Structures are given as structure tokens and as C-alpha cells.
């Protein structure tokens, strides 16, 4: 009788051995199979998580003689501002959210900040608001990988003429808080001479609803001066650093090109070039919700986001390319630029957002096609709807809702986070 339990133990051991022979442990996968799995993970974060699954898998990748295919650069992440904090959705992973970081990893002071845009290397411009008054307490560049931050100015100094005789007007210096609507950098954050070009809103100002232009360096405090639009058609909507200068897109679809110069204790000086674009045959059957500037294949593109009527979801896009000007002989030598509509996206994948639009080539991403990806950056009565996002394809022309649904946010719009 005592031998029967031992016999059962031996039988079970043999059964386990046969099972291991038939179904070997995941850790024993051949290196080539491990590499094949890795090739099917185009997202950087998925690949980083892959290496943490099993030590033997990590070792297999490093074995000599196992080639790894080149993977295309990471596509932008969509930041969705949920109630518990922001999450980040990855297009390469089918719209799945990635905890890089999780909402609880983000410092509490930044967890419900307003995301203004991105400045590359998974860094974002944030505005931290004083909720009762709705005035930003500070602006920062937030590093989503290292969870560190770099302080930006939150007040602006500007000169105004004091009341009096025209010949004896005296400049008075004012200090006011401001918020950033959109911004971009001239170079990387850590590079010498980095300048921020921003579209801002002033507080406690007679026409505070009208956007202004401002420039500053990362270590400046405060911002020295701002620049206003001479007419409504020159009010700015988007900004892009292109060909060594800041390009500001206006409501009239003109461009203001600015190259700032800074002086200790003095107002910022800017060399401006106002580029007038003739209307030509541009006529839009739908309402233009937003306008964006995108650099693609060395060209400057104008992207229009349209809907049937104001307040309705995005339904269509139009894309134009800037055409180099000719000086007319009979127009007082006024140089007129032109926007030429593109017949197709021609293999482009465009990600549009204020201050952070990017262009990618669909051919570099197997399974992807020409498309325009967009996020919901609207503000309605101090709320951010966060519902009008997705991608627009041209064959056939349609909008696809490819991201998880979310409720409106009370602290931030959606933005792209560029890798």
C-alpha cells in the first residue's frame, strides 16, 4: 500500500515531462521566434514592455546572428484628459492606451494641468491654473519620461502710451498674467539659444479675447512685450518653426514670419515679414473649424478642418501647398503668395494640432494609408468636449473614430504628444 502514492507521484512527473515536451515553457522559445514577435510590435512602449516579460527573451534578442528589422519612428500619442488624469493612446497599437506614465505617476500639481501642445521627445507645454480665478499660476515644459519639468514665464511686461498730449506721450510699463494658446520651439529644449514662439491670451486687458504673439527664452522671466494683429484677418491661429523662422498662420490664411532678437532689460524686437496670400479660387462649401500649418517633404502646407455648420463634428479636410510668389508688374510690386490645393495626400499621414503638427510617410508603416489624424482642441464655455477626434481618409472621403470615447474634460483639451 505505501508504494501506491509513490507510483502516482512518478506518473504525475512523467505526465508533466510529456506536457513540457509537447508544450515547452515560453522562456524556452527559440531566439528567431522571439525576434519575430518583436518585429510585430512597432510601438516603442510595447517593445520596452516586451523586454520586461522574460529574461531569457531579453537574452535571446542580444544573441549574435539574430537580425532585427529596422522599425519606423514612433507616431504621436493622443493625450486624453480623463477625470483621474491624462492617458496616452497609441495609433501603432490600434488606439490602445499606454501608461507612460500612469495618472498617479504624474505629480499632483500637474495631474490636471492644461496641455497646450508638445515640444518633442515626449515633452509637453503645460499651464497650471488657479481654478477659482482661471488664471495660470505657472507654465512649464513637462518631461513625460523623466517626470521632471522646466519652468516658463507666466507674466508679461509691455509698454503702453499714457494719456496726454500727443507730442508728450509717455510710455508706461505694465505687468499682466497670460496663458499660452499654442507654442513651438526653435530648437530642442536643451540646445543653446532655444526660443519659444507662442500665441498667448492676456488677462485684465481691454481686448483680452484677441490672441497675441510673444517670444521668450526658456530662462526668461518675465516675457518682454507682445505683438498684436493689425486687422482681424491677421489674427493668428497656429504657429510653426519653418526654414529658420517662426511662421504664424492667420484667420485670413496669410502668414506672419518673425525672427526675434532679445535685449537685456528691453522689449523683444522682431523682424517681421507679412506674407499676403491672394484668395484665388479658394471657396469652401463648409465651415472652417480650424487651420493648421504643417511641414511636409520640405513644403509648407495649409490644412483646413471643416464641418457642415458651426458646432458640428469634423466632416472633411482640405490641404494646400504654399506656392513661391511672383512679383506682379502692375501691383505696386506687392508680392502675393498662393495656396495651391493638393489633389490627394499622396502617401502622407498628417497629424494636426496647434503648434505641434507633423507629417509622416505611410509607406514606412505597413498596414497604414494616407490619412489626417486630428484631436479635439475646442473650448466651449470653459469645457473641453474631447469628442471630435479620429482620422480622415480620402479613399473614400470619410471620418473614422479610431480612439476610445471619453467624457468632456474641465481641465484640458486633447493634444498630440510627439515622440
Confidence (pLDDT) at 22? 58
**Which of 168 and 121 is assigned the larger pLDDT?**
121
Confidence (pLDDT) at 210? 85
On the question of pLDDT at 8 being above 70, the answer is no
Sign of the four-CA dihedral 217, 218, 222, 223: positive
Residues in the chain: 419
Burial of 210 (0-12, 13-18, 19+ CB in 10 A): middle
Confidence (pLDDT) at 170? 46
For 325-376, what is each residue's pLDDT tens digit?
A: 766 555 555 678 999 999 999 999 999 999 999 999 999 998 899 999 999 9
Residues 6+ apart with CB under 8 A from 108: none
Q: How confident is the model at residue 32 (pLDDT cuts 50, 70, 90)?
A: confident
86 within 8 A of 80, measured Cβ to Cβ: yes
- For the chain, what are the domain ranges? 3-61
Of 23-37, 100-114, 242-256, 260-274, the poorest mean pLDDT is in: 23-37
On the question of pLDDT at 308 being above 80, the answer is yes
Q: How confident is the model at residue 63 (pLDDT cuts 50, 70, 90)?
A: low
pLDDT above 70 covers what percent of the chain? 81
Confidence (pLDDT) at 383? 82
CA distance 402 to 94: 8
Confidence (pLDDT) at 27? 64
- The 3-state secondary structure of 242-258 reads ECCEEEEEECCCCEEEE
Q: How confident is the model at residue 1 (pLDDT cuts 50, 70, 90)?
A: very low
CA distance 152 to 132: 22
Amino acid at each position: 500500500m505505501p508504494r501506491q502514492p509513490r507510483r502516482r507521484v512518478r506518473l504525475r512527473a512523467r505526465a508533466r515531462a510529456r506536457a513540457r515536451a509537447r508544450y515547452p515553457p515560453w522562456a524556452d522559445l527559440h531566439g528567431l521566434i522571439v525576434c519575430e514577435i518583436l518585429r510585430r510590435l512597432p510601438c516603442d512602449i510595447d517593445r520596452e514592455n516586451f523586454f520586461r516579460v522574460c529574461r531569457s527573451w531579453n537574452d535571446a534578442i542580444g544573441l549574435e546572428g539574430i537580425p532585427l528589422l529596422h522599425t519606423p519612428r514612433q507616431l504621436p500619442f493622443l493625450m486624453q484628459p480623463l477625470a483621474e488624469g491624462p492617458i496616452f493612446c497609441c495609433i501603432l497599437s490600434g488606439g490602445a492606451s499606454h501608461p507612460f506614465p500612469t495618472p498617479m505617476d504624474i505629480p499632483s500639481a500637474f495631474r490636471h494641468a492644461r496641455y497646450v501642445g508638445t515640444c518633442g521627445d515626449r515633452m509637453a507645454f503645460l499651464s497650471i491654473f488657479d481654478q477659482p480665478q482661471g488664471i495660470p499660476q505657472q507654465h512649464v515644459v513637462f518631461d513625460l519620461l523623466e517626470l521632471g519639468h522646466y519652468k516658463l514665464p507666466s507674466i508679461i511686461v509691455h509698454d503702453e502710451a499714457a494719456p496726454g498730449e500727443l507730442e508728450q506721450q509717455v510710455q508706461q510699463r505694465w505687468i499682466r498674467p497670460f496663458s499660452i494658446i499654442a507654442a513651438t520651439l526653435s530648437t530642442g529644449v536643451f540646445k543653446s539659444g532655444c526660443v519659444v514662439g507662442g500665441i498667448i491670451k492676456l488677462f485684465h486687458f481691454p481686448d483680452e479675447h484677441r490672441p497675441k504673439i510673444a517670444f521668450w527664452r526658456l530662462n526668461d522671466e518675465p516675457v518682454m512685450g507682445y505683438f498684436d494683429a493689425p486687422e482681424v484677418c491677421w489674427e493668428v491661429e497656429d504657429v510653426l518653426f519653418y526654414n529658420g523662422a517662426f511662421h504664424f498662420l492667420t484667420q485670413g490664411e496669410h502668414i506672419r514670419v518673425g525672427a526675434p532678437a532679445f535685449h537685456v532689460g528691453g522689449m523683444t524686437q522682431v523682424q517681421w515679414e507679412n506674407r499676403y496670400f491672394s484668395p484665388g479660387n479658394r471657396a469652401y462649401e463648409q465651415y472652417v473649424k480650424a487651420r493648421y500649418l504643417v511641414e511636409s517633404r520640405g513644403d509648407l502646407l495649409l490644412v483646413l478642418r471643416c464641418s457642415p455648420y458651426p458646432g458640428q463634428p469634423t466632416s472633411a479636410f482640405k490641404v494646400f501647398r504654399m506656392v513661391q510668389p511672383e512679383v506682379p508688374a502692375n501691383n505696386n510690386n506687392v508680392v502675393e503668395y498662393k495656396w495651391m490645393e493638393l489633389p490627394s495626400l499622396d502617401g502622407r499621414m498628417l497629424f494636426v494640432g496647434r503648434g505641434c503638427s507633423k507629417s509622416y510617410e505611410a509607406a514606412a508603416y505597413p498596414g497604414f494609408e494616407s490619412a489626417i489624424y486630428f484631436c479635439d482642441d475646442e473650448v466651449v464655455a470653459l469645457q473641453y468636449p474631447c469628442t471630435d477626434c479620429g482620422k480622415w481618409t480620402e479613399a473614400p472621403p470619410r471620418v473614422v473614430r479610431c480612439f476610445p470615447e471619453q467624457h468632456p474634460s474641465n481641465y484640458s483639451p486633447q493634444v498630440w504628444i510627439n515622440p
